[in-house]
Structure 1
Amino acid sequence: MSGTYEARFRIWRGDKGGGDLGDYKVAVNEGEVVLDIVHRIQATQAPDLAVRWNCKAGKCGSCSAEINGHPRLMCMTRMSVFDESETITLTPLRAFPVIRDLVTDVSFNYEKAREVPSFVPPEGVGPGEYRMAQLDVERSQEFRKCIECFLCQDTCHVVRDHEENKTAFAGPRFLMRVAELDMHPLDAASEAGLDRKRTAQEDHGLGYCNITKCCTEVCPEGIKITDNALIPLKERAVDRKYDPLVWLGNKIRRRGEEAG
């Protein structure tokens, strides 16, 4: 793409009661992203178009939408990836209720975040006294890059296609949070009586995930959610529940506690 050209956009307009796609023709300049075009449509044709955005730098996760059916950040999707003759369709995230136009109600995600037990500090170690080797934190450090755009939550078919699963399934973003804490070298959850692997399976719906990697494919930060978080967490949960040596050890331990 070079210079300025006129693009065709179809943008979903409506609210929870319903709506339809509106057609717009708009000028596109070299180097622009989809969010630039949405702002131009707001400024020149549709001042009441609702869209959520903040940083415009791919770090806040606010401008998530579906662009030609693919969950993406509007501020990180360059117009140059589309053919100039192509009609670009913008719709709100499908997995969450529409508030208005491109803005959805993502409160489901914050509810799930509150359900994940927080980091448990080791006994006798105060704030500022934590010491960890870089080697020990490298695995979970990747997950801290998450900007909570919720694109992974939106594209996960367990959430996207089955509304009834939402009560029992936290989704990839928050199962990744459980994995991060379970891998944390200083997390003392087990000493406090909290089994993160058990809660992942029983409370957060880890078993619903069938590792299709769709969450990894849409992550704008390139986090390998499936390979580095969900699969290892599944392996740990299975080891805990089905490994015969673990089972025998737990049985002996319980008998010892009963005898004592």
Structure 2
Amino acid sequence: MNQRYRLPRRLILRVAYDVLRNRPRSLRPDALTALSTLQKPPLVTGLENLTSGPGLLVLNHYSRPGLNVWWGALALSAVLPGPVHWVMAGGWTYSDRLRQATLEPLTAWAFHRLAAIYGLTAMPPMPPRPHEQAARAVAVRQVVAWLRSHPEGFVALSPEGRDIPGGVLGWPPPGTGRWIVHLTALGAALWPVGVWEEEGRLRLAIGRSVALNLCHGEKEHLDRCVSRQVMQAIARLLPPEMRGEFNAPDPVEYNGRNGFIR
């Protein structure tokens, strides 16, 4: 049976108050506070695979009804050996005009304020809409500046950038692969992270660092080729039924309730 994931009301109120006042908060203590309320705390394996930064952590956008994607981010933030800078959504997007006119600007304001108090980066969705090009360029520069100023730290992001029906892996939006190449060109090692649930418990597995093959060809080919490599690296850490079209042979095999074997 899946456990219930609920943020402590006191924490929600404190964060909301600081969002309104634009007062900084620290992510790790808040993550530990949130996780302390769970009956079964998340299990994170593979920390021994991490070396010192700079690093780039890429994880699947795992969520389901009752479990929002931020629980995986909280679990990872609580255990990393160095500072972490998350790239988060700059707001939710909707297909109908009513919510586009009401909820989109509201979530954009709230998410940018939340990113500001925790020192994170709120990124417009990819591919960016014409009016978001400038905001996206600013966000990219912000991530690069943080990475350069925190050589011991980790940038973390979900390449998919959205919920995928059925919990299986999906393709990242166009442009994601080239951006990952840009970050690794700055010296950041790339570590895949798989997020899923097992026996009612959230599981995170950190894999070994991945060396990208920078495929030759046009920009679009490079982008898709790198995105595939990244998603395959994540897939190798997940149960087979979650891998979707990124199921590829690998020496790491999933072994049911006993986890992973090599």
- TM-score of the superposed pair, with normalisation by structure 1: 0.26
- Rg larger in structure: 1
